[in-house]
Amino acid sequence: MFSKFFIFFLAGFLIISSQLAGVFADNELEKIVLLHTNDEHGEIENFGRIAWKKQKLEGKYDEVFLLSAGDIFSGNPLVDHYTRETGEKFPGKPMIELMNAAGYDAMVIGNHDFDYGQEQLNLLRQKADFPMILANIEIKEKALLEKTVPYLVEKTGRGTEISFLGLVEVGSGGIPATHPSNLAGLVFSPPVKVARQYGFLARESDIVIGLTHLGLEKDIILAKEIEFLDAILGGHSHTALEKPEEVNGTLIAQAGSGTRYLGKIIIKFNTSEGKVKKKKGTLLPIDEIKKTNSSVEEKITAFQEEMAYLREEVIAFYPGGIRGREQLGSLLARAVAERYDLDIAFQNIGGVRTGYLPPKISPEDIYRLDPFANEIVIVEMTIEELSDLLANSFSRRNSIDLLPGGGSYEVRVNEAGQVEKINIWNMEGKKFSEGGTYLIGLNSYVAETYYPLPQKREKQPETTAETLIGYLKKKDEVKLPEDDKTAIKIDRAGAKGMVIAHCPLPLSTDKKNHQSVSAGTLIAEALRVIGRSDLGFFPAEQLYPNLELTEGPLNREILDLFFPGFRYENPVLIIELAGETLEKIMVNEVKRTGYVVPYQFSKNLEYVLLHTEDDERDIELFLEGKRIEKEKTYSVAINRYEASKWQQRYGPIKNKRKAGYSEKEALLAYLDHIGILSRELWTERVEKEKPR
């Protein structure tokens, strides 16, 4: 009897003890949330929902922080050109006020956060209720920037100390990617080197977070080199990571761009042991946050109404809109050339920030196209100096970067991709002559960062965007500069490179946005075969236009001419999508870009563009001659950058994996495998304008 009672008592005691132990253990775990955005670029519409979400989570977790990984400015004319009622310009003010209202706790200074200049950044920092941190910067005597804080230490309500270390990308020129004049007196150091100096944060804090503006690939390097980081909240590459990557025990998270997503990291910290017990992250689509903070919304509406004139004024009309970064870059350059009666002008393609102008063109559209307020520089140059500028611009990335206005030029290269000659023509088609001197228009960024230029130069107070606005206002009818073109010609008689395959027909990118082309099919097929996937896709915009290599040997060095995006070393992802989803993405991309073929695709796919009765577009895809099934899941090989853009536009992609190699590595492996390119690569597989 006694023994039975004792057994029951003991069993009950153990059950209660285990329950109490669970309660005590749970009480020891502090739940901390890190909400994060990055590369907001002045997009203000979603701060009401971000503010509401933060407030909601504060009632559920012990501590909630809201952070930005940099580049909060440049991209939205409302923010970049904000003007007070007094007429005084105050760029950036709406962004700071709304981040204050949303409850941001800190941000790292990104490269484009210097775009307004150091004095304006000082004023904006004074207005911010949160610190802007940065560690890998040294401020010299001649600089105007006030001292920055390298890191921030926050203490939670339960005494846990969290350190945030700020790091920004440093490019090959030793500075972040902004106009060099914005960085006078500032010295930047490699982020990994600087991070090593802050190992003491791991000893003095409980949790250490990297708040970085480096880009995903450099965040991965940082995580491999620096072991004391619990997580990295990153930016710069605009990557939408549905789940953080884990490298060397460090979670790496990034939330796309433009506040389309809100990143969320949950850290469970054991307060008695002083250790992180668990950490995980996810990506919250902003569109799924249905509620908003009304006071923040009121501020957003007020700013939008103040600056409505930027989008309401129609300065020009062009039926169907203008598409393509090359076309728009040449339009910018043509406006400069005509405004100042120059022989030719140039616009760097990196400064063209959108690929589309709508039919009714507003000042807002132009400022989105060209947001950097670069002034115009007129330079007197000989043909030899101009040829050197264009050759060096080409050699920087092995592709044409400077787009002409008021003329055209071609780059002749040998089979090893080396520049042999530059030919230049004016708008009448007359070739620039040897010994001649010419007036050339450039934006101030190109003038200060590209090949050393002659000192015979004159800076104009007008910006390139202002010049284009004035140019369009004066035109009764907008005409595109169709004669302002570039071309790359490959001379077979030049120096030989490393032969890796043989082309039985000319390899071409001609009409890459309107049909399947051999170079596009080649890379898409390589991604499919090497990735062992059902389909391969490659963005048509990442093929160099109007390029042809005659039949014969294919050299390794020439690949970078056809595929200039190879310089980014984009990793390949294998993603899984339902057939219906894939067709919808293609339809939306056709509507978004205006191109018949926004993506080149592997040779096993046929692509039919349909017109419906209400003049809408639709697409049908056929795999091996059979219509793809709506409910069936297909594996697709595509680069991570494009997959990230799909995720930003069309929602999370749940099933994806890294292929383990870059696009270029996939192509080289494929060419090594086949030796001779199949003639199937030249088969046209696009049927367009078919009625439904």
Q: Decide if 362 is inside a domain.
A: yes
**Quick one: pLDDT at residue 175?**
96
| Residues paired with 322 in a beta bridge | 357
Task: Report whether 147 contacts 185 (CB < 8 A).
Answer: no
Residues 233 and 210 occupy one common structural domain: yes
Indicate whether 43 belongs to any domain: yes
Token pair, residue 383, equals: 């043909």
**Least confident residue range of 118-127, 421-430, 478-487, 550-559:** 478-487
Residue with tokens 């002008």: 345
| Tokens representing residue 477 in the block | 């009818």
Tell me the per-residue pLDDT of 140-153, one tens digit each, with 9 for 90 and over: 989 999 999 999 99
Q: Which domain holds residue 675?
A: 498-691
- Name residue, tokens 């962004």: 95
Q: Are residues 467 and 507 in the same domain?
A: no
Segment 242-264 shows an average pLDDT of 96
pLDDT of residue 395: 87
274 and 370 in one domain?
no
Judge whether residue 223 has pLDDT over 90: yes
Q: Report whether pLDDT(24) > 70.
A: no
- The verdict on 246 and 128 lying in the same domain is yes
| The pLDDT of residue 690 is above 90 | no
Evaluate if residue 301 carries a pLDDT over 60.
yes
Considering its fold, how many domains does the chain have in total?
3
Q: How many angstroms separate the CA atoms of 591 and 562, rounded?
A: 26
Answer yes or no: are the C-beta atoms of 344 and 430 closer than 8 Å. Answer: no
- Burial class (CB within 10 angstroms; exposed 0-12, middle 13-18, buried 19+) of 502: middle
Please tell me whether residues 372 and 509 are part of one structural domain. no
pLDDT band at 545 (very low <50, low <70, confident <90, very high): confident
Say which CATH number the domain at 642 has: 3.90.780.10
How do beta strands 535-539 and 457-463 pair?
Answer: unpaired
Q: Is residue 15 part of a domain?
A: no
Given a cut of 80, whether residue 26 has pLDDT beyond it is no
Say what the pLDDT of residue 673 is: 94
Q: 568 and 464, same structural domain?
A: no
pLDDT reading at 130 higher than 90: yes
Strand-pair category, 375-382 with 437-443: antiparallel
The 10s digit of each residue's pLDDT in 445-476 is 999 998 788 878 899 999 999 999 999 999 88
The pLDDT > 90 percentage for the chain reads 75
Same domain, 394 and 528: no
pLDDT at 268 over 90: yes
474 and 567 inside one domain: no
Would you say residue 392 has pLDDT above 80?
yes
432 pLDDT above the threshold of 60: yes
21 has a pLDDT exceeding 50: no
- Per-residue tokens: 603: 């040779």
3-class secondary-structure state, position 531:
helix
Q: Are residues 158 and 125 in the same domain?
A: yes
Q: What does the pLDDT read at residue 20?
A: 47
Q: Is the pLDDT of residue 513 over 80?
A: yes
- Give the orientation angle of helix 579-593 with respect to helix 640-650, to 10 degrees: 90
pLDDT reported for residue 591: 83
Q: Look at phi and psi of residue 45 and say left if phi exceeds 0, alpha if psi is from -120 to 50, else beta.
A: alpha
Kindly report, residue by residue over 156-182, the tens digit of the pLDDT. 999 999 999 999 999 988 999 999 999
Residue 143 lies in a domain: yes
Average pLDDT of the residues of the chain: 92
Of 472, 489, 506, the one marking the end of a domain is 489
Alpha-carbon dihedral sign for residues 653, 655, 660, 665: negative
- Residue 423: the pLDDT is 95
Mean pLDDT of 670-688: 93
**CATH of residue 82:** 3.60.21.10
On whether both 441 and 506 belong to a single domain, the answer is: no
Q: Is position 411 within any domain?
A: yes
Strands, E assignment, 123-176 = 132-133, 137-139, 151-155, 161-168
What residues contact 152, with CB distance under 8 A and at least 6 apart?
106, 131, 133, 163, 164, 166
Distance CA 356, CA 593 (A): 7
Tokens of residue 296, six digits = 């923040």
- Confirm whether 7 is domain-assigned: no
Domain-ending residue, one of 306, 335, 365:
306
Write down the pLDDT at residue 487. 85
Chain centre to alpha carbon of residue 449: 21
Query: Residue 28: pLDDT above 90?
Result: no
Domain end residue (candidates: 448, 470, 489): 489
Least confident of 195-199, 483-487, 626-630, 656-660: 483-487
Residues 444 and 508 in one domain: no
Domain-embedded: residue 530:
yes
Residue 87: partners with Cβ closer than 8 Å, 6 or more residues away = none
Q: Residue 447: how many CA atoms within 13 Å on its side-chain side?
A: 22
Q: Evaluate whether residue 25 is within a structural domain.
A: no
Closest to 41 measured CA to CA, from 354, 298, 332, 295: 354
Six-digit token string for 621 = 């895809």
Do 480 and 515 fall into the same domain?
A: no
What is the rounded distance in angstroms from the CA atom of residue 229 to the CA atom of residue 211?
A: 10
Write the DSSP string, 248-308.
TTEEEEEB-STTSEEEEEEEEEETTTTEEEEEEEEEEEGGG-----HHHHHHHHHHHHHTT
Positive or negative torsion for Cα 100, 102, 108, 114? negative
SS3 190: coil
pLDDT band at 9 (very low <50, low <70, confident <90, very high): low
Determine contact, residues 465/376, Cβ cutoff 8 Å.
no
Angle at 310 between CA 304 and CA 316, to 5 degrees: 145
Over residues 71-87, mean pLDDT: 90
For the beta carbon of residue 461, count every other beta carbon within 10 angstroms: 7
Residue-wise pLDDT for 608-667, tens only, equals 988 665 556 789 999 999 999 999 999 999 999 899 889 888 888 888 898 999 999 999
pLDDT at 23: 46
**In this predicted structure, what is the pLDDT of residue 48?**
98
The segment with the largest mean pLDDT, out of 114-128, 307-321, 395-409, 414-428, is 114-128
